[in-house]
Chain A
Amino acid sequence: MKKFFAQTYLWLLLAMLYAPILIIAIFSFTEAKVLGNWTGFSTKLYTSLFSGGVHHSLLTAIENTFIIAIISAAVSTLLGSIAAIGIFNLHHKKKMVMNTLNNIPMLNPDIITGISLFLLFVSLGITQGYTTVVLAHITFCTPYVVLCVMPRLQQMNPNIYEAALDLGATPMQALRKVLIPELKPGMISGFILAFTLSIDDFAVTIFTIGTEGLETLSTYIYADARKGGLTPELRPLSTIIFATVLLLLIVINIRSARNKKQSNA
């Protein structure tokens, strides 16, 4: 009996968590304009999403979102990895301070990050647009990359960098041929995490996107919803994004499980 309640509770909880996205996924396969009306199975919304049947600005928003995500994930992976190596080589006390400083931006509410970046850009007189969004995304993604790379450094035999130097590698060659291959799994996880965080972000983006008409997916949907009623094509789009993120998450988890097994062996 006890087991039955525990099971029911678990499934109820999961249902509540996943019901909204499930409903959207189900209703992405029907043509009805209003969510909740089932007018028979159809993939018309999917075809119209990709055939340009929708408003042109949605496709632009999708494109912007992905370009911003790729650039900011790439740059923050580079910055975060270098930062992790630097922090790792600090002395004990400084290392602790730097790790804490790295963790604070992650705990900081996005809205605060957004407002402070907005004020920073305004006070520096930078025109808000593509550049500011990318800069903002790099800012909040980098600490996550540091967090992904750090465990690899801690697991690493501290002598292998020295061994490379000893065998005649310059510091740059040792970095490229030994350190980076060793850190690669952490860097890839960091990149994927930064990429999904960037796609997902609304709070920081809305404050840094400016008024030049630049839209990302999240700001587009927000504006669309406020105009009254969501464009039906958003349903297949949400479903696709959800599936993509789910896939990436599975990839990250499998990778980290495999790494753990390898380092235990």
Chain B
Amino acid sequence: MKDSNFIIELNHISKRFGDKVVLDDVSLFVKKGEFVTILGPSGCGKTTLLRILAGFGTASEGEIRIAGEQMTDIPPHLRPVNTVFQRYALFPHLNVYDNIAFGLKLKKVKADEIDMRVRRALKMVGMTDYEWRDVNSLSGGQQQRVAIARAIINQPQVLLLDEPLAALDLKMRKDMQMELKQMHKELGITFVYVTHDQEEALTLSDTIVVMSEGRVQQIGTPIDIYNEPSNAFVADFIGESNILNGTMIKDKAVSFLGHEFECVDKGFGENTPVDVVIRPEDIYIMARTDSGMFNGVVQSCIFKGVHYEMTVNTAEGYEIMIQDYNAFEAGQEVSMIIKPSDIHVMKKERLCNSFDGVMVDSTHVEILGASFVCAEQADIEGGEKVKVEVAFEKIELMDNKDDGVVEGDVRFILYKGDHYHLTIRTENGDNLYVNTCDVWDDRDIVGIKIQPEDLKITKA
């Protein structure tokens, strides 16, 4: 592996804080000179991953190599990486010059060389003549520039950036994005950038790593990630999308929204349930005609600057989002067309909930850390291990957590045109997936109940 052209190799990294799994078997390979963005919602483990790369945290399992060298247990000061922190982390007792020269002074670089390199770094970040300023007197954007100069002056092999623009206002953020991209081109070093801002990720990166719940969801170029999301989470997180349940009838034919459509995907088999993703800008909308593929009534229309964003209720009872340059007023009857190449078909990750459980007695089964009443099982004895399946629709959620057998909280909400697909995390950390028409909010605490006849039990 020594001669590989990967500058960073993360092999099966896991991190646990107590019982909590923050990173779950993350593997990532970064090529020299790449601009890689780790993208995900807060709490997905992206910052933890960056801290493990920098050496501020250690992985519970797995191996890290940087530039071919084993780095798993090497302390931060011996790693060939430098970090730009979210809250700048400039040394308040030093002026701009001494902040930037900090790394070089430690390496005992000659004074005149330090002088030259500090000036060059300041020029690079557009802060010439700020050498003797007190860092506390600088604005947020200026402080971040100094922080970047302080990191790149050491000529690291890899520059790590932890949401460096998160604390800046929108205008400043846009300017800095362009400057960072320019800097990456000039320096030619590898950037690993952490952000929760999908637009920033799409703008800056060569490669995006989408993370959620401590796991890598997809790795790809911005175009791949946007056009071919690998699952519903990625489709929902990157850009706007309509995510719908569908059935792959045969190769190049899929049915959803109550209609059959031609598509370009194949190899899913016949009559296979799938998720279908359609970007709102890929649906063509027009006044009601007979040549449309399906019809509907505009529910709402909002001006978004470049385009209008419309919610349309289809004749079959689905709600879809459409973006178009032309406005159709609420109440107007419309027809829609979708091109085959704009229909993205994704394999469903699961078709129902499936748990490992243990029979307590003939009418009780233990799953999710609690005992549920089930239909009488004549041929399975108490204590036997079983597999339990529950359909998404058959899980009841209660407002009052004490009304359920176990409690959990809502982790992820996906709107599927005519219902919500929720991910619920129970107290013991099991995930369960629920289809419901009721509206729940992120992090709502719910009670979970399942009717006895809905538990499908088979011997494990």
Which A positions have Cβ atoms within 8 angstroms of B? 157, 159-160, 162-171, 173-174, 177-178, 181-182, 262, 265
Q: Which residues of B contact A157 (CB under 8 A)?
A: 87-89, 92
B77 at interface, CB cutoff 8 A:
yes
Q: Which residues of A contact B151 (CB under 8 A)?
A: 166-167
Q: Which residues of A contact B107 (CB under 8 A)?
A: 168
Residue in contact with B76 in the complex, picked from A160, A166, A265, CB distance below 8 Å: A166
| Chain B 288-329: CB-based contact to A (< 8 A → 1; otherwise 0) | 000000000000000000000000000000000000000000
Measured CA separation A162–B85 after assembly (Å): 10
Tell me whether chain A's interface is mostly helix, strand or loop, or mixed. Answer: helix
Residue in contact with A167 in the complex, picked from B56, B88, B102, CB distance below 8 Å: B102
B33 at interface, CB cutoff 8 A:
no
| B75 in contact with A164 (CB, 8 Å) | no
- Least distance between A134 CB and chain B CB atoms (Å): 32
In the complex formed, the residue of B with least CB distance to A167 is B103
Instruction: Give me 18 A-to-B residue pairs in the complex whose CB atoms sit less than 8 angstroms apart, sorted by A's number.
Output: A157-B89, A157-B92, A159-B85, A159-B87, A160-B92, A162-B76, A162-B83, A162-B89, A163-B83, A163-B85, A163-B91, A165-B56, A166-B77, A166-B81, A167-B77, A170-B77, A181-B93, A265-B136
Q: Which residues of B contact A164 (CB under 8 A)?
A: 91, 102
Q: Which residues of B contact A168 (CB under 8 A)?
A: 77, 103, 106-107, 154
| B92 in contact with A182 (CB, 8 Å) | yes
- Least distance between B192 CB and chain A CB atoms (Å): 13
Contact A167 to B89, CB < 8 A, known contacts A162-B56, A265-B136? no
| A165 in contact with B75 (CB, 8 Å) | yes
In the complex formed, the residue of A with least CB distance to B92 is A182
In the complex formed, the residue of A with least CB distance to B147 is A163
Q: Which residues of B contact A181 (CB under 8 A)?
A: 91, 93
| A167 in contact with B106 (CB, 8 Å) | yes
Measured CA separation A162–B81 after assembly (Å): 13
- Residues of B93-118 at the interface with A, using a CB-CB cut-off of 8 Å, are 93, 102-103, 106-107
| A160 in contact with B91 (CB, 8 Å) | yes
- Least distance between B20 CB and chain A CB atoms (Å): 14
Measured CA separation A119–B36 after assembly (Å): 66
In the complex formed, the residue of A with least CB distance to B102 is A167
Q: Which residues of B contact A162 (CB under 8 A)?
A: 54, 56, 76, 83, 85, 89
- Least distance between A163 CB and chain B CB atoms (Å): 4
B150 at interface, CB cutoff 8 A:
yes
Measured CA separation A182–B81 after assembly (Å): 25
| B87 in contact with A166 (CB, 8 Å) | no
Measured CA separation A181–B95 after assembly (Å): 13
Residue in contact with A163 in the complex, picked from B55, B81, B89, B106, CB distance below 8 Å: B89
Q: Which residues of B contact A182 (CB under 8 A)?
A: 91-93
| B82 in contact with A160 (CB, 8 Å) | no
